[in-house]
Amino acid sequence: MHPATRAAIFRRLKAANPAPTTELLFGSPFELLVAVMLSAHTTDKSVNAATRELFPVANTPAAIVALGVEGVKPYIRPVGLYNTKSKNLVGLAQALIERHDGQVPGDRAALEALPGVGRKTASIILNMVFGEAEIAVDTHIFRVANRTGLAPGRTPREVEEALRRNTPPAYRKDAHHWLILHGRYVCTARAPKCPTCIIRDLCEFAHKTRPKPPQPAVRLRRAARRAFGPARRRRSRR
């Protein structure tokens, strides 16, 4: 893709949503870390449903450790994989207390050493809490980057590297949110909304969806209007 096209795509995404952000609910770096960790293989909506109940009861590492694995489980049952996620959550809280005075660390190696925290979660924390221009590649971004031609790659890491290399610096910090929201609501896995997509003319996807043909009743009404409409109007003027 030509760099000017890439810049134009981000220009339009920015114009449509100047201050993109996560749809996860959080009120502190620790809450964000917990929410992102819980969001693996599930929707933000189900994570928000769980944390709305959990955070009023326990939203610090010490409180999560005090709750323990069995105490955490009922809250995060809706997000799926709750046995593993409960263990990771309590392990994560314990590790933050032991290694980082209960604070969320600001470097990738320390983040990725925490239970349940992988590259994607670390990138989101570095971006949203520490203001670094990191781009976490999830399934939505992977799809949008490949379809559009913005940053083709066979693996999330390849896409991440391509986005890092090719995204104009002015757009790099927010690229993650623009692309994830575009993938979630417009460039969906099945039946992307190409006819109404704001970057349709810039996107290089060869199999864009077409506007739906009008329904038979609509077609009939239009045909009748074409055949009789002007005549009827002429009659009514007489």
The residues carrying an active-site annotation are: 120, 138
Q: Which stretch binds ligand SF4 (CB under 6 A): 39-47, 82-90, 103-111, 196-204?
A: 196-204
Residues numbered 123 to 152 that lie near ligand SF4 (CB under 6 A) are 147-148
Q: For 80, what's the count of Cα atoms within 13 Å in the CB-facing half-sphere? A: 8
Which CB atom, from 109 or from 206, has the smaller least distance to ligand SF4?
Answer: 206
Nearest distance, CB of residue 193 and ligand SF4, angstroms:
5
Site string for ligand SF4, 153-192 (x = CB under 6 A): ---------------------------------xx----x
Quick one: which segment of 32-40, 115-123, 168-176, 202-210 binds ligand SF4 (CB under 6 A)?
202-210
Binding part of the chain for ligand SF4, among 26-34, 57-65, 167-175, 200-208 by CB under 6 A, reads 200-208
Quick check: 199 binds ligand SF4 (CB under 6 A)? yes
Query: Segment contacting ligand SF4 (CB under 6 A): 61-69, 125-133, 194-202, 210-218?
Result: 194-202
Site string for ligand SF4, 96-115 (x = CB under 6 A): --------------------
SS (H, E, C) the chain: CCHHHHHHHHHHHHHHCCCCCCCCCCCCHHHHHHHHHHCCCCCHHHHHHHHHHHCCCCCCHHHHHHHHHHHHHHHHHHHCCHHHHHHHHHHHHHHHHHHHCCCCCCCHHHHHCCCCCCHHHHHHHHHHCCCCCCCCCCHHHHHHHHHHCCCCCCCHHHHHHHHHHHCCHHHHHHHHHHHHHHHHHCCCCCCCCHHHCCCCCCCCCCCCCCCCCCCHHHHHHHHHHHHHHHHHHHHHHC
- In the complex, least distance from residue 207 CB atom to ligand SF4, rounded to whole angstroms: 8
Question: Token pair for residue 104?
Answer: 């969320």
Smallest gap from residue 74 Cβ to ligand SF4 (A): 39
Residue type, 60: T
Smaller CB separation from ligand SF4, 85 or 177: 177
Task: Confirm or reject binding of residue 89 to ligand SF4 (CB under 6 A).
Answer: no
CB of 164 to ligand SF4, least distance (A): 20
Name the minimum Å distance from CB 188 to ligand SF4: 8
* Burial zone of 36 (CB within 10 Å; 0-12 exposed, 13-18 middle, 19+ buried): buried
Taking the C-alpha atoms of residue 97 and residue 204, their distance in angstroms, rounded to an integer, is 48
Please report, as ranges, the residues that interact with ligand SF4 according to CB under 6 A. 147-148, 186-187, 192-194, 197, 199-200, 203, 205, 208
